[in-house]
Amino acid sequence: MADSALLKAAKQGNTEEVKRLIAQNADVSVVDEDARTALYLACTKDNTEVCEVLIQHGANVNAEDRNKWTPLHRACSDNLTKDVSELLIKHGANIHAKSSSEDTPLHYACKSGNEQVCRLLIQKGAEVKCQNTKGETPLHLACTDDRKKNLVELLLDSGADVTIEDKKGRTPLHVACEYGCTEVVKQLVQRGADCRTVTKRSGCAAAVACQKGQQQVAEQLIQLGLDVRQSGMNLLSASVRYKKVTELLLQRGADVNEKNSSNGNSALHSAVCGPPEVSELLLKHGADVNATDKEEETPLSKASYSGRKDLVELLVKHGADIKTQNTKGLTPLHFACSRGRKEICETLIKLGADVNAKDKRGYTPLHSACKDGRKDISELLIQNGADVNLDRVSGDTPLHCACEKGSRELADLLLAHGADVNRRSGSKIHTPLHVAIETGTQDLVVCLLQHNIDVTLKDKNGVTPLDLAKLKGLTDILSLLEKHNTGKAAAATKTTDPAQSVKKPQRKDTRQRAEIVRENKTPQMKAVEDKMLQRQQAKKKDGKGVSRQEEVKVSEAAPTEGHVMISYQWTYQKTVLKIRDELKKRNFRVWLDVDHMTGNIMDAMAAAVDGATAVLMCVSSSYKDSKNCRAEIEYAYTQQKPIVPLLMEADYRPTGWLGIMLGNKLYFDFSGKYPFKAKMEELVRELERQGLRT
């Protein structure tokens, strides 16, 4: 109790109570929850007597709190007399001590504007050039107020450096310009600070004054010799929020069309963030209304992007090109649509903007609006003649974009205005229905099915919307598609399933890809395949499954033909065995090495491939690394056996020889990402369509 009472008494500056508690053995080293000692708390009051009592009884003058503040930091941060600081220094306080922000007592004294304490610290040897974690020197902190001009003078006389930059790239002059300190600005310039010097992060100090609207500082700098006509300072671009400062610069001859060297912006580009009267003032003084920046964007493009209707109208009135395009081919209308600026869109269209203008990717404003799900703007564009069936460079129509966004409202709007529901386009040569199924948006699928849609149309891989729904396990959508499908579509579907895309590759394609695969083989792999091919040639000679010289003992239960072969790597044997068992339950003949492999491994694998109606390839990274697996599947490929990929490893994307082998084949996902039973049913249906059930 006495200890906590001591903290309270010290904070209140109660000398008698402090003495009484110490007499009762109160601990002068006691700290509060922030690690502040009684001496630290006493320094908040201008009471040297309490501080002296505590020091005489052993208080540590350099004890730190949680922020590494010492009692001297505390004394200097408040605008107190120098007495407390002097007492602490007399008893050994460290004038160079740094807080957690690396501020010294001099930093805090300058921040509080305590000239007496600053003078004391400097006399005792305090470093005037030291920087805190923000890169600020004591001079930076003194330049925030003209009332500190004497303190600034003291620091300058003591060797403070006017060129040191803080972490924001600001010199003390930048700070003085930002805070509008005309007297301090004058002091610094007279001591060698240059308001034209451009720092990497903050530009020049003169531009900072203009940017902050410090008209008096700007006038002071001009009086001190600043030539606003000098290029590279971008003073006009900095001043666009403040008409009076802009006016001052123009009167002094600033170049109205000077461009920023980093981005190519003119003052008129920058004025998009300022009041309209500034833009009007710039135009009056000859600003180029169609000036372009490094992206070839004009002030009109910037105003459209930012939603500045007032500036859009003003710029067009002064001759702005409404059809201008930037380096990507984007017009002001594209910008307005992508940002959801309906009012700007209305204004631009009213002023003659081309609603069907294409950028370099083939995007029209309608594509942009649909891609971002903006129905109101899409409706406006359509009402004003936007073509709902224009393709992008990639081929996608606005309806494809709406489906990619998953927006039924947009799809309804586009279809009501003649969008082609069966248009096959894009890099995948797919229909809007394919895209809708990819997003899994059932409501959107229902919308598309209400129109004259062909659910049997294939993408470039030969996959129909029905196939896609099955592969993605979208049972509700699949049910909708099957109900919608006509007899003709149903018949077509029987020959357009995912397995078809992997069933029989064209001979020309097989030869080309086999050559690519073979180029990537090791000598060992080539030898393995050569042995398999020799066996195949022997089979052709005598009509048997093996040559007379190389008989293989195959177990009696092993199927010799008409079976499904499973090619896998042992890491995933558990899953493979489950697949085998499920296939057998459904009366499929299955060849699996653990059941039927005897004799020479290569001969047995070759026999299994030769007799297979299809090969299930269990795709994984370990499969890719297995020499036997590679030999097995490459032999099956060269023999043009239907290969059905089963994904074993979650999210695995095959590369190298396996990537070449797979090409665009669709796979069934047995990685555990989806229910095993559901995927098994899908696999069985595909195998049945190939007529593989015995």
Model pTM score? 0.65
Is the model's pLDDT at 542 over the cut of 50?
no
CA angle at 166 for the pair 163 and 170, rounded to the nearest 5°: 65
Radius of gyration (C-alpha) of the chain in whole angstroms: 40
- Residue-level pLDDT at 684: 87
Is the model's pLDDT at 540 over the cut of 60?
no
| C-beta of residue 17 within 8 angstroms of C-beta of residue 54 | no
Q: How far apart are CA 15 and CA 86, in angstroms?
A: 19
Q: Is residue 572 part of a domain?
A: yes
599 pLDDT band (50/70/90 cuts)?
Answer: low
> Within this chain, do residues 519 and 576 fall inside the same structural domain, yes or no?
yes
> Within this chain, do residues 556 and 472 fall inside the same structural domain, yes or no?
no
Per-residue burial over 105-120, b = 16 or more CB atoms within 10 Å of its CB, e = otherwise? bbbbbbbbbbbbbbbb
Structure tokens at 133: 């974690």
Q: Is residue 21 part of a domain?
A: yes
> Within this chain, do residues 616 and 510 fall inside the same structural domain, yes or no?
yes
- Residue-level pLDDT at 553: 40
Is the model's pLDDT at 256 over the cut of 90?
yes
Query: Tell me, what CATH number does 462's domain have?
Result: 1.25.40.20
Q: How far apart are CA 301 and CA 675, in angstroms?
A: 51
Q: Is residue 533 part of a domain?
A: yes
74-131 pLDDT per residue, tens: 999 988 889 999 999 999 999 999 999 999 999 999 999 999 999 999 999 999 999 9
> What is the β-pairing status of strands 563-567 and 612-619?
parallel
| C-beta of residue 609 within 8 angstroms of C-beta of residue 615 | yes
Q: What separation in angstroms does the CA of 461 have from each of 107, 500, 619? A: 70, 10, 20
Q: What separation in angstroms does the CA of 280 have from each of 234, 285, 357, 395? A: 19, 9, 29, 43
Is the model's pLDDT at 527 over the cut of 70?
no
Query: Tell me, what CATH number does 584's domain have?
Result: 3.40.50.10140
Helix axes 83-90 and 115-123, enclosed angle (nearest 10): 20
> Within this chain, do residues 42 and 108 fall inside the same structural domain, yes or no?
yes
Structure tokens at 612: 């297979």
Q: How far apart are CA 600 and CA 631, in angstroms?
A: 14
> Within this chain, do residues 55 and 39 fall inside the same structural domain, yes or no?
yes
Q: What phi-psi label fits residue 35: left (phi over 0), alpha (psi between -120 and 50 degrees) or beta?
A: left
Q: Is residue 310 part of a domain?
A: no
Is the model's pLDDT at 1 over the cut of 90?
no
- Residue-level pLDDT at 39: 97
Structure tokens at 508: 């020309």
Q: Mind spelling out the 3-state secondary structure of 435-473?
A: HHHHHCCHHHHHHHHCCCCCCCCCCCCCCCHHHHHHHCC
Mean pLDDT score of the chain? 87
Is the model's pLDDT at 513 over the cut of 80?
no
- What percentage of the chain has pLDDT greater than the value 90? 65
Q: How far apart are CA 179 and CA 262, in angstroms?
A: 26
Number of folded domains in the chain?
3
Q: Is residue 571 part of a domain?
A: yes
**Where in 483-547 does DSSP place strands (E)?**
none
- What percentage of the chain has pLDDT greater than the value 70? 87
618 DSSP β-pair partners: 646
596 pLDDT band (50/70/90 cuts)?
Answer: confident
581-595 pLDDT per residue, tens: 999 998 899 999 888
Q: How far apart are CA 61 and CA 439, in angstroms?
A: 68
Is the model's pLDDT at 154 over the cut of 90?
yes
> What is the β-pairing status of strands 643-647 and 668-669?
parallel
Is the model's pLDDT at 498 over the cut of 70?
no
Highest mean pLDDT among 284-288, 396-400, 653-657: 284-288
Write 663-670 long-range contacts (CB < 8 A, 24+). 663/513, 664/460, 664/461, 664/501, 665/501, 665/502, 666/461, 666/463, 666/467, 666/471, 666/498, 666/501, 666/502, 667/619, 668/471, 668/644, 670/575, 670/579, 670/618, 670/646
- Residue-level pLDDT at 537: 52
Is the model's pLDDT at 518 over the cut of 60?
no
Q: Is residue 390 part of a domain?
A: yes
Residues 6+ apart with CB under 8 A from 138: 104, 106, 107, 109, 110, 118, 128, 130, 155, 160
- Residue-level pLDDT at 551: 38
Is the model's pLDDT at 536 over the cut of 70?
no
198 DSSP β-pair partners: 204
pLDDT mean over 402-431: 89
- Residue-level pLDDT at 522: 47
241-251 pLDDT per residue, tens: 999 999 999 99
Helix axes 2-12 and 15-23, enclosed angle (nearest 10): 160
Domain boundary among 470, 496, 522: 496
Is the model's pLDDT at 428 over the cut of 90?
no
> Within this chain, do residues 208 and 161 fall inside the same structural domain, yes or no?
yes
- Residue-level pLDDT at 616: 94
- Within its chain, how far is the Cα of 43 from the centroid? 50
Q: Is residue 307 part of a domain?
A: no
pLDDT mean over 181-206: 94
Q: How far apart are CA 624 and CA 416, in angstroms?
A: 50
> Within this chain, do residues 484 and 454 fall inside the same structural domain, yes or no?
yes
Give the closest residue to 288 by CA, choosing from 271, 310, 306, 274: 271
- Residue-level pLDDT at 664: 62
pLDDT mean over 516-538: 49
- Tokens 């410090």 belong to residue: 214
DSSP string, 274-305: S-HHHHHHHHHTT--TT---TT---HHHHHHH
Q: Is residue 345 part of a domain?
A: no
Is the model's pLDDT at 271 over the cut of 60?
yes
363 pLDDT band (50/70/90 cuts)?
Answer: very high
295-342 pLDDT per residue, tens: 999 999 999 999 999 999 999 999 999 999 999 999 999 999 999 999
Q: How far apart are CA 566 and CA 608, in angstroms?
A: 9
456-493 pLDDT per residue, tens: 899 888 999 999 999 889 999 998 888 887 543 444 44
- Residue-level pLDDT at 483: 84
Containing domain of residue 432, as a range? 355-496
- Residue-level pLDDT at 226: 95
Domain boundary among 476, 496, 516: 496
> Within this chain, do residues 492 and 522 fall inside the same structural domain, yes or no?
no
Q: What separation in angstroms does the CA of 339 have from each of 269, 343, 374, 577? A: 18, 11, 9, 55
> Within this chain, do residues 559 and 604 fall inside the same structural domain, yes or no?
yes
> Within this chain, do residues 478 and 527 fall inside the same structural domain, yes or no?
no
Is the model's pLDDT at 637 over the cut of 60?
yes
411 pLDDT band (50/70/90 cuts)?
Answer: very high
> Within this chain, do residues 421 and 540 fall inside the same structural domain, yes or no?
no
548 pLDDT band (50/70/90 cuts)?
Answer: very low
Is the model's pLDDT at 618 over the cut of 60?
yes
- Residue-level pLDDT at 657: 85
Is the model's pLDDT at 605 over the cut of 90?
no
432 pLDDT band (50/70/90 cuts)?
Answer: very high
pLDDT mean over 513-536: 48
> Within this chain, do residues 490 and 543 fall inside the same structural domain, yes or no?
no
Domain boundary among 496, 526, 558: 496
Q: How far apart are CA 281 and CA 247, in angstroms?
A: 8
**DSSP helix/strand/coil, 585:** helix
- DSSP letter at 616 equals E
- Residue-level pLDDT at 351: 92
How many helices, marked H, and strands, marked E, lie in the chain? Answer: 41, 7
